[in-house]
Amino acid sequence: MNNFEFKNPTKIIFGKNTIEKLTTEIPQEAKVLLLYGGGSIKKNGIYEQVKSALSKHTVIEFGGIPANPEYAILMKALKVIKDEKITYLLAVGGGSVIDGTKFLSSAALFDGDSPWDILSKSIRTETGMPFGTVLTLPATGSEMNSGAVITREETKEKLAMGGPGLFPQFSILDPQVIASIPERQLVNGITDAFTHVLEQYMTYPIGALLQDRFAESIMQTLIEVAAKVIKDPTDYKSASNFMWSCTMALNGLIQKGVPTDWAVHAMGHELTALFGIDHARTLAVIAPSHYKFNFETKKEKLAQYAERVWNVTEGTTDDKAYAAIEKTEAFFNELGIDTKLSDYTKDYEGTAEKISKRFTERGWLGLGEHQNLSPDKVEKIVKMAY
């Protein structure tokens, strides 16, 4: 096992009817900016619960943060923060609203030239404006980590940012919010969380027995509840297990002491930036090709995953490893998620070259757990995913 340090300061408030706890979690004297997305919270009762809990606080609102939070829109929110002298941010939404809020938390205290530098120059955020979240969509784990991904339509870029100053102070996780989530977003959430685990697991054995079993148990739980959550999102047992699995998949715990990959996300983000494909779907497009291309270096973990998660007991290590890739792709397909780029766009020719060129320009010359996935290899993987 590798050496590691682990600190996660986010307070999780989990369970039925927990949104009312906002009243005591946000300091009474705070001037709050309530941030939300396209309006789902106004249809499903979450907005009313938030407003009622904050009835004695000073609250200003900023809605309209789109899926794949857009820089230009967030810059309008930043102006509100400055003009209104906001002191506390509250994200009420999925990964996009939470990520947008993290960007604002950082940008509000940033004294450089342009807040875009935080993303383009990978400036770590040591201290941000305090914020909390009410999670409305289990998927990204953003509610309990310190990362964010921001999109800029103008340049067709989607870049990541983060730092120890960007953990939410608290996150409220009421699994009842799942009831109103459309199936498309539910299956996205399952696929995203599942791939988060894969990115932190599908590398090479390092003797981290507990981390492996944490990872496998999250994937097993997601597989177990997936169909139930889709069939009946009001089923609290499935909803609560789904929600907690998504948070645990990317709150930092399972990646401690082990090598991690994240190349699927790096390539996937480009597909969202170029074509607007939902984040989770880009991962389902790239992952099978990525694992096939890197078969030799990943096959031991692929085989272990096949045995422990998919109960594949027959065959050689190679047979099991190959079965693991097929099972994974079939799982995504069963959820209704297409796994080829051509299923999403007719304009895919040239995409692999474009992504490879971008990675070269950004100096991303060696991705993956061995830092040897060079842009020419990225090009081959993306082509395999056409």
Residue 273 or 306: the one with the smaller Cβ distance to ligand NZQ is: 273
What character string, x for contact with Zn ion (CB under 5 A) and - otherwise, covers 105-134?
Answer: ------------------------------
Which CB sits closer to ligand NZQ, 304 or 351? Answer: 351
Report d(CA 281, CA 188) in Å as an integer.
7
Closest CA to 61 of 72, 50, 49, 45: 50
Instruction: State the nearest-atom distance from the C-beta of 314 to ligand NZQ, in Å.
Output: 34
Reading the block at residue 70, the tokens are 């857009």
Give the nearest distance from C-beta 320 to ligand NZQ in angstroms. Answer: 27
- Residue 94: which of ligand NZQ, Zn ion, none does it interact with, CB under 5 to 8 A by kind? ligand NZQ
Quote the least distance from Cβ 159 to ligand NZQ, whole Å: 10
CB-nearer residue toward ligand NZQ: 100 or 115? 100
| Nearest partner of 62 among 52, 77, 50, judged by Cα | 77
Whole-number Å distance between alpha carbons of 129 and 166: 8
Quick one: what does residue 35 bind among ligand NZQ, Zn ion, none, with the CB cut-off 5 to 8 Å set by partner type?
none
List, in sequence order, the alpha helices (H) in 176-252.
183-201, 209-231, 236-249
Compute the least distance from the CB of residue 89 to ligand NZQ, in Å: 15
Smallest distance, Å, CB 280 to ligand NZQ?
Answer: 6
Pick between residue 185 and residue 240 the one whose CB is nearest to ligand NZQ: 185
User: How many chain residues bind Zn ion (CB under 5 A)?
Assistant: 1
Q: Is the CB of 96 or the CB of 125 nearer to ligand NZQ?
A: 96
Helices (H), the chain: 22-25, 40-43, 46-53, 71-83, 95-108, 116-120, 183-201, 209-231, 236-249, 263-275, 279-293, 295-310, 317-334, 351-362, 375-384
**Residue 188's binding partner, choosing from ligand NZQ, Zn ion, none, with beta-carbon cut-off 5 to 8 A by kind?**
ligand NZQ
Q: Which does 177 bind (CB under 5 to 8 A by kind): ligand NZQ, Zn ion, none?
A: ligand NZQ
> For 14-58, where are the alpha helices, taking DSSP H only?
22-25, 40-43, 46-53
Q: How far is the CB of 361 from ligand NZQ (least distance, A)?
A: 21
Q: Looking at this protein, which amino acid is placed at residue 307? A: E
270 binds, among ligand NZQ, Zn ion, none (CB under 5 to 8 A by kind): none
Binding test (CB under 5 A) with Zn ion, winner from 143, 192, 212, 329: 192
Pick the closer one to ligand NZQ by CB: 310 or 359.
Answer: 359
Report how far residue 255's alpha carbon sits from residue 261's, in angstroms, rounded to the nearest whole number: 10
Residue 384 burial (CB count, 10 A): 16
Rank residues 42 and 370 by Cβ distance to ligand NZQ and give the closer one.
42
Q: Does 270 bind Zn ion (CB under 5 A)?
A: no
What string of H, E and C letters represents the secondary structure of 265-293? HHHHHHHHHHHCCCHHHHHHHHHHHHHHH
Amino acid code (one letter) for 37: G
- Residue 145 contact among ligand NZQ, Zn ion, none, beta carbon within 5 to 8 Å by kind: ligand NZQ
Q: What is the C-alpha to C-alpha distance for residues 243 and 337, in angstroms, rounded to an integer?
A: 20
In the complex, least distance from residue 282 CB atom to Zn ion, rounded to whole angstroms:
9
Let me know: does 313 contact 323? Beta carbons within 8 Å.
no
Tokens of 305: 């995953």
> Binding residues for ligand NZQ, per CB under 6 A?
37-41, 44, 67-68, 93-97, 99, 136-137, 139-142, 145, 147-149, 177, 180-181, 185, 188-189, 192, 250, 265, 279
Q: Which is nearer to ligand NZQ, 135 or 323 (CB)?
A: 135
Smaller CB separation from Zn ion, 10 or 18: 10
Nearest-CA neighbor of 235 among 243, 93, 249? 243
For 113, how many CA atoms within 13 A lie in the half-sphere containing its CB? 3
Distance of closest approach, residue 374 Cβ to ligand NZQ, in angstroms: 23
Q: Minimum distance between the CB of residue 27 and Zn ion, rounded to whole angstroms?
A: 32
Q: Which residues would be at the binding site for Zn ion (CB under 5 A)?
A: 192
